[in-house]
Amino acid sequence: MSVVKVNAITVPPERADELVARFAARAGEVAKMPGFEAFELLAPSDDRNVFLVYTRWASEDDFRAWVESPAFARGHRAHATEGPVSTESELWSFDVVQAERV
């Protein structure tokens, strides 16, 4: 079964639009990677200030290949050149042990 990576990114409310814009600017890069299965950027709809970046991969090796790829570096260039939008982030890892799809 697949593996899921969730990056929980704490973003001040006044910078939320900037985070969404940065993700939009790099749209499609991750989808080109072998083993990629899904991506979602989840914005909080309550009083939290944590965005969740959900990706699903065929294997842990496929995820590692993405993180070590030139495409990943290009996608995170704004973080390196303009600084982070977030105040904190944490990567969560899961194995898919059950799934249902429509």
Number of domains in the chain: 1
% residues pLDDT > 90 (the chain): 71
Predicted model pTM: 0.88
> Could you tell me the two tokens for 96?
């898919």
100 found inside a domain = no
Q: What is the CATH number of the domain that holds 8?
A: 3.30.70.100
- Domain of residue 24 covers 3-95
Model pLDDT, residue 74 = 79
- pLDDT tens digit sequence for 50-92: 999 999 999 999 999 999 998 888 777 666 677 778 889 999 9
Tell me the C-alpha to C-alpha distance, in Å, between residue 63 and each of 34, 36, 101: 9, 8, 22
**For residue 102, is it within any domain?**
no
Asked if residue 32 belongs to a domain, the reply is yes
36: nearest Cα among 8, 9, 70, 64: 64
The 10s digit of each residue's pLDDT in 9-62 is: 999 999 999 999 988 887 688 899 999 999 999 999 999 999 999 999 999 999
